Amino acid sequence: MSVTKASADLAEQFSRALHELGVVKPQSVIGLAVSGGGDSIAMMHMAARAVDPKRLRAVSVDHGLRPEASTEIALVVGQAQELGIAHTALGWDWDRKGNLQGAARQGRWAAMHDWAAQTGIDALLIGHTEDDQLETLLMRLARGSGIDGLTAMARVDLRDGLRVGRPLLGFARDALRDWLRAEQIGWCDDPSNDDPRFDRVRARQMYAQLETLGLTRKRLLQTIDHMQAAQRSLRVAARDFARLHVRQDAGDLIFDPVALDLSKDDAPRRVMAAAISWVASRTYKPRFESLIARVEQLRKGQKVTLAGCVLLPLRGGGARILREAAATLPYTRPTGCTLASMGIRWDQRWHLDGPVKDGLRVQALGDAGLRDCPDWRQCAMPQVSLLASPSVWLGDRLIAAPLAGLSNGWSAQIVADFHSGAFGIED
Ligand SMILES: Nc1ncnc2c1ncn2[C@@H]1O[C@H](COP(=O)(O)OP(=O)(O)OP(=O)(O)O)[C@@H](O)[C@H]1O
């Protein structure tokens, strides 16, 4: 195959992979996290061929830790400009707490998350490759991870309310480098990617040795597939369990006594972790042993705080997770929002735009009390209308914008149906 043909094939394969993620929708604005390394540089160039560059926004974070970082970002700025992609450079200050790599990752994520919220990004693409996926699997094995950990990275997930897509997960790092060379596109190699002090680098070296034992790329990827299938089944079981044992009460979640027995079965643990994520509006991935220990305290009648959520024991043996106590957390609420929690006054007019998935229910509050509108498009509430200029977004599910004035005494709230996708266990 000629170099040009192979190159075009890879770009086309990328375009397919990107569209299969389901995050590119008409009018959506897509963010690209570009460090200047080969993977994310390739992602930026291929994305510019797959999507109108005017709908792309690139972002680079300078951690201020390496002198070369500013050169790397300058390279990204130049290439983004040539491609017609708007670019933003963000900084980060290390408070010298915690391990450097972990702190840098967290700081980078927080900076990009804020940037995405302010820029109106519908989904952020990250340049993780198949190699990163295998390294993740090995690192998780080394930590004794369970099924969720061994699924490695998802192609799409919702992190703290922001949709994150990984279109390169099916691409080998070497193939991307070959593509860049064939296209004569430059990139930077970060020397810390070869520094054996870092877990990921050692995982990469270990992987090279494991291959000689027959533990091939293909087999490891197969294991990830099996784990992902198992995870899907467990989520369905957890959803069914939640239907039976958890209910909403005035926005709080009520767990019956059976739902607090986390020690034996996967479903209650999964439901509790999902509930806490939902209430706190941020991703909560507990070590199950520590979750079980905390819930044991709760079962003994003690109040517990977990990931910023308050859990109160109930007299009959169950528990209540308070929604309001978590409402002050500085996170965009991905689902389960009331307009008030999004900073919109209840007495303002508002409208919805975009696909409202299962599980988001519009309720209209008027003199006649609370009314459910199962399909918001059919909702009789007079203020609901479609408009193309969103000002508040929630993941990619819902966009609401306040409008001035209100007639005839109606107000409204958006609530998430606890038993459905909005809760996160069906994602
Ligand atoms: N400083 C950064 N600024 C913006 N995005 C970043 C930054 N560091 C990492 N990322 C994003 O996270 C992905 C994975 O990070 P990782 O540290 O594995 O990548 P890298 O080796 O720095 O660069 P690349 O993956 O582009 O070769 C990157 O592909 C990129 O999308």
User: Which pair of structure tokens corresponds to residue 387?
Assistant: 């408009």
pLDDT of residue 78: 97
pLDDT of residue 344: 36
Per-residue pLDDT band at 155 (split at 50, 70, 90):
very high
Taking residues 219-224, what's their average pLDDT?
A: 93
Q: Is the pLDDT of residue 225 over 90?
A: yes
- Which alpha helices (H) appear in 120-262, and where do they start and end? 130-142, 147-150, 173-182, 199-211, 217-245
Cα 279 to middle of ligand 1, angstroms: 30
Phi and psi, residue 164, nearest 5°: -115, 130
pLDDT of residue 353: 31
Q: Which domains does the chain have, with CATH numbers?
A: 3-215 (3.40.50.620), 244-326 (3.30.465), 340-423 (no CATH)
Cα 43 to middle of ligand 1, angstroms: 11
CB 163 within 8 A of CB 122: yes
* C-alpha of 31 from chain center: 13
pLDDT of residue 80: 98
pLDDT of residue 251: 64
ipTM value? 0.93
pLDDT of residue 2: 66
Per-residue pLDDT band at 82 (split at 50, 70, 90):
very high
Q: Which residues contact 42 (CB under 8 A, 6 or more apart)?
A: 127, 168, 176, 179, 180, 185, 187
Q: Is the CB of 167 under 6 A from ligand 1?
A: no
More confident residue, 401 or 40: 40
Taking residues 309-320, what's their average pLDDT?
A: 89
Is residue 290 marked as binding? no
Q: Is the CB of 413 under 6 A from ligand 1?
A: no
Q: 8-49, pLDDT tens digit by residue? A: 899 999 999 999 998 898 888 999 999 999 999 999 999 999
Q: Is the CB of 128 under 6 A from ligand 1?
A: yes
Q: C-alpha dihedral over 192, 194, 199, 202, to 10 degrees?
A: -170
Q: Is the pLDDT of residue 380 over 60?
A: no
Residue matched to tokens 């510019």: 48
Q: Is the CB of 132 under 6 A from ligand 1?
A: yes
Three-state SS at 220: helix
Q: Whose CA is nearest to atom 8 of ligand 1?
A: 35
CB 161 within 8 A of CB 282: yes
Q: Is the pLDDT of residue 354 over 50?
A: no
User: Which pair of structure tokens corresponds to residue 360?
Assistant: 């988001």
User: Which pair of structure tokens corresponds to residue 140?
Assistant: 């998780």
In order, the DSSP letters of 399-421 are: EEEEES---TT-EEEEEE-TTSG
More confident residue, 121 or 342: 121
Q: Is the CB of 44 under 6 A from ligand 1?
A: no
More confident residue, 139 or 250: 139
More confident residue, 280 or 415: 280
Q: 116-135, pLDDT tens digit by residue? A: 888 888 899 999 999 999 98
Q: Is the pLDDT of residue 58 over 90?
A: yes
More confident residue, 8 or 412: 8
Q: 249-295, pLDDT tens digit by residue? A: 766 788 999 999 998 888 999 889 888 877 776 677 888 888 999 99
Q: Is the pLDDT of residue 106 over 60?
A: yes
More confident residue, 241 or 199: 241
Q: Is the pLDDT of residue 419 over 80?
A: no
**Mean pLDDT (the chain, rounded):** 75
Residues of the chain with pLDDT > 90, as a percent, come to: 37
Q: 167-185, pLDDT tens digit by residue? A: 999 999 999 999 999 999 9
Three-point CA angle 417, 164, 21, nearest 5°: 90
Is residue 37 marked as binding? yes
Taking residues 328-337, what's their average pLDDT?
A: 31
Give the residue among 422, 276, 251 at the shortest CA–CA distance from 340. Answer: 251
Q: Is the CB of 33 under 6 A from ligand 1?
A: yes
